[in-house]
Structure 1
Amino acid sequence: MSKNTAPLPVKEYLRTLEPGAHGGLIRKSSQEHAIPESEILDASASLNPFGTPFEYSYTGLKLKSLLDKGLEKMEQYPDNRYLEFREAAARFTGMGVRSENIIPGNGSTEIIRLVAECVIEEGDTVLIPQPTFSEYEVQCKVLGANIRYIRQEELGVLDEDLLEDAKILFVCNPNNPTGILFTREQIAEMAHKCAKHHTLLFVDEAFIELADHSQSVADMVEGNAYLFIQRSLTKAFAIPGIRMGFGIASTAFANVLNNARLSWNMGCIADTVATALLNMEGGVDSKYLVDSRGLIETERAYLMQKLTRRGFKPFESSVNYIFIDISEFSMNSTELAERMASHGVLIRDCSSFQEIGNNYIRVAVRTREENERLVSTIKQVINEWGKQQAESMLETNLAKAADCGRLGSNLSCEYYPCHFEGQDCTFCFCPFYPCKDERTGGQWIESSSGGDVWSCLYCDIIHKPEVVDDVLSVLVKEGRNKESIKKAWKNALETRL
């Protein structure tokens, strides 16, 4: 067998494995659209919009000092016990959690992989509600698990027959991408059902510090060996470039996971920085995190109000991102995300989430200035797209009219009659827009995002058959250009106003 045809030395089922899709692709977008990275607004990655703790003197944290301290240990292996980190994580979590319950991790993905490696055998079934974080699926597939998808709504009324055959049930709380937060009582009920059937309940609390940390169930792990909690520091402290997080489990379960995890899974920089962050005075109720939650609440309300327009339907959220239904908008999520990226603003196209289609996007809650830019860019993209659609439709209708004359009433249009019964729809998109001539019935109105926009709602002259005939006599003969538009206006409309 030749080198080129030799099979790969990997498990058969891994040959078709695809990585999870994520936001935060700043460099890729910069390269594709020739926009400097510094000029890109990333509303696709859901980081704390308040910025890092190092930007606020009251935290007492200085990044350079921490980096220098961490680098002093560069020439030695880290202490694989990570004692200071685990003690700080326990204090930060509170709720009676002890250092013996803490499992250090190099971010969420490594923690998910560790738990999957320790629990799943090839062929086991795991339950993943949809839509949710894609890494649960990816990391379990690496171990050869069978994925069974359920809907988020099913979590409230868990079918115990499902649990009977499942090794793990993943619950993201608050959920990514929907922002829905389950209460402690709801999670506790799930945990009870899972323990009854020896199914591990993996609760991902990566965003809970930015939502309502009182809904955490971290205090329940010691009494339930089938409950595991995941925390991620990169979201709450807005530093995804330094990978750090931790798991919380019963003492016995945590001991197994700590023995099984990769040795030195946190480097000296991550260990030093993470320990300092976790030791911040006040823990989850530090001034920094309280201020962060306050900003998120204010800016989320602002974005919700601004995004409820033009076919956008934002879902209520508990955290620093908003899930938006755009199914009533005529552009799908992939095209919208691509058009936004071309203007230097990244949003999350949710079509990569299982069984969700291309009708949903997710946007991060940012600062007011950034949110205003996000809203402004959405408006710009919609206007550009609308003009392109209008141009295309106008050219198509002119081509048809050149062969058979005016097109008459479009009775199949869901908006017919948008002006009057018997209207001619050849110029659904007006060749004179915006004419800015109020004699037509058109007028300036205030747009939902502020400013004035020209409205044709009360203009019907371009839909009168005799006007359409006169306009076509010019545009069909001379083509559509500046001069012919002026001539058609003068011949067909000016005399009738």
Structure 2
Amino acid sequence: MIQQHGGNIGQLSNILDFSANINPLGSPESVKKAVAETVCDIEKYPDPYCTELRDRLGEHERISAENIVCGNGADDLIFRIVYAFRPERALICVPTFSEYSRALSETGCEIQEHILDEELDFELGESILTNLDRSLDMCFICTPNNPTGRLIAPEILAKISVKCLENNIILVCDECFMGFVEDSENYSLRQFLNEKCIILKAFTKLFAMAGIRLGYAVCGSSRIAERIQQSGQFWSVSALAQTAGIAALDETEYVNKTVRYITEERRFLAAELAKIGVKVYDGAANFLMFLSRIELAEELLAEGILIRDCANFSGLTEGFYRVAVRTHDENIRLINAVRRCLNG
């Protein structure tokens, strides 16, 4: 069962979903409470500029609110960025999140693929720099990358940022899974932000808010932010989502607890899967990619477990899978099921 994205359980019942990379600790109670209290005001239009949320995000990101754009999830912002600038030629690094190429294709953009090498565990290295020339208008990178989980080394990020600035290339860096990373500030493009940079972030994964779409873009230029703001629908972020985001920004201990939990469980899950005999790729996010036999996804589905078959990612083939890091008990259930499928 190859799906366009994870989390599409459809009519499946009694399924343990490892295909969606959502925080296993669940949404913070403060977020749920804030959303519940906002329901009373649903007859009112939301603030189209997300003024309070952007002010809070500006404090959180240590940047002017004028440099921030909020959207109906990061996916919404990907499309708004592409439609705002309508690049003629863009670079993406594959395998990666499919919505970059989907958005670019909708505008007729010519897409160039920089293929990440499996022999190098899909790490993005300096070889990308030769592709960053005046023929490009836009470049998408993702760290930690989806589905590989690999971080881009800070020194490579710095060089990419400079090269894009020198060649007038808009650099879009997707950091939607960065909140799960230890020492995340040391791996973020934020430290190398310039006027051609856009960093994508989302509340969806970290705060388990997939049902309330909320993402934001941190732009190196307020002019770029304004252009993105004017692209797409006017009321792009619901009042419920804005309230949820404001509440989530106070959840510092929740985030710290999440990072500790995910780090420990990811290492446990990776080690146990490797013992079974699958090839696990070293990642830093709340999911893992591994290589096994091509029948595994269907066999696990028969066990009541849904994983993400990655065969439809450009740059990958049959046998590559992505699994979320869930609770310890759920991770053990996955491990035992994979063992049964592979070893009998």
- Confirm or deny that 1:251 pairs with 2:211: no
Give 3-state SS (helix, strand or coil) of 2:230's partner: helix
Deviation for aligned residue 1:310: 4.3
Q: Radius of gyration: which is bigger?
A: 1
Gaps of 5+ in 2: 117-122
Q: Do the aligned partners of residues 218 and 72 (structure 1) sit closer, same or farther apart at CA in structure 2, a change above 3 Å counting? A: farther
Q: Are 2:70 and 1:110 equivalent residues in the alignment?
A: no
Instruction: State how 1:410-449 maps to structure 2 within 5 Å.
Output: none
Cα deviation per residue 1:289-348 (whole Å; 9 max; x = unaligned)? Answer: 11111111111111111111344010111111111122xxxx31xx21122112211111
2:143 pairs with 160, 169, 173, which one?
173
Could you give the per-residue CA deviations for residues 138-191 of structure 1, whole angstroms, max 9, x where no partner exists? 111111111111123564233445432111111101111111112333212101
CA distance in 2, matches of 1:231, 1:161: 25
Equivalent in 300, 320, 324 of residue 364 of structure 1: 324
Tell me what 1:380 maps to.
Answer: 340
CA distance in 1, matches of 2:158, 2:3: 29
Letter in 2 for 1:300: R
- Partner Cα distance (1:378, 1:149) in 2: 33
> 1:361-406 CA distances to partner (integer Å, 9 max, x unpaired)?
111111110000001111222245xxxxxxxxxxxxxxxxxxxxxx
Letter in 2 for 1:27: G
- TM alignment of 1:19-30, pairs within 5 A: 21-28=4-11, 30=12
In structure 2, do the counterparts of structure 1 residues 116 and 62 end up closer, same or farther at CA, with 3 Å as the change threshold?
closer
Per-residue deviation at 1:62? Answer: 5.5
The runs of 4+ residues in structure 1 deviating greater than 4 Å are none
- Tell me which residue corresponds to 2:120: none
Separation in 2 of the partners of 1:163 and 1:87?
36
- In the alignment, the residues of structure 1 paired with residue 210 and residue 254 of structure 2 have an alpha-carbon distance, to the nearest angstrom, of 17
Indicate yes or no: 2:168 matched with 1:193.
Answer: no
**Cα 1:129/1:91, change in 2 over 3 Å:** same
1:115 is paired with a residue whose SS is helix
Q: Secondary structure at the match of 2:133?
A: helix
Do structure 1's residue 208 and structure 2's residue 183 form an aligned pair? Answer: no
Output the amino acid matched with 1:350: C
The answer to whether 1:50 aligns with 2:25 is yes
Deviations 1:24-82 (A, max 9, x none): 12224x1xxxxx3xx3211111111222212xxxxxx161x323432233222112121
The one-letter code matched in structure 2 to 1:192 is V
Q: Percent identity?
A: 31
1:315 paired to 2:291: no
Secondary structure in 1 matching 2:44: coil
What's the CA shift for 1:119? 1.5
SS in structure 2 at match of 1:307: helix
The CA RMSD over aligned residues, in Å, is 1.9
> How many angstroms apart in 2 are the aligned matches of 1:313 and 1:77?
50
| Structure-2 residue corresponding to 1:409 | none
Q: TM-score, normalised to structure 1's length?
A: 0.64
What amino acid is the match of 1:92? H
Structure 1's unaligned 5+ residue stretches are 1-18, 31-35, 55-60, 385-497
Q: TM-score, normalised by structure 2?
A: 0.92
Residues 306 and 169 of structure 1: is their aligned pair in 2 closer, same or farther, counting only changes over 3 Å? same
1:51-450 alignment runs, 5 A limit: 51-54=26-29, 61=30, 63=32, 65-93=33-61, 96-121=62-87, 124-152=88-116, 153=123, 155-212=125-182, 213-214=184-185, 215-221=187-193, 224-249=194-219, 250-278=221-249, 280=250, 286-326=252-292, 331-332=293-294, 335-383=295-343
Alignment-mate amino acid for residue 49 of structure 2: R
Higher relative contact order (CA 8 A, sep 6+): 2
**Secondary structure at the counterpart of residue 339 of structure 1:** helix
CA–CA separation in structure 1 for the residues paired with 2:3 and 2:101 = 8
What is the Cα deviation at residue 266 of structure 1?
Answer: 0.7
Separation in structure 1 between the aligned mates of residue 256 and residue 47 of structure 2, nearest angstrom: 33
In the TM superposition, what are the counterparts of 1:7-18 in structure 2 within 5 Å?
none
In structure 2, the residue matched to 1:417 is: none
Residue 90 of structure 1: CA displacement? Answer: 2.0
Supply the AA of the counterpart residue of 1:140: L
Match of 1:352, SS state, is: coil
Are the counterparts in 2 of residues 20 and 138 from structure 1 also a CA contact under 8 Å?
Answer: no
The 1-side partners of 2:43 and 2:149 are apart by 43
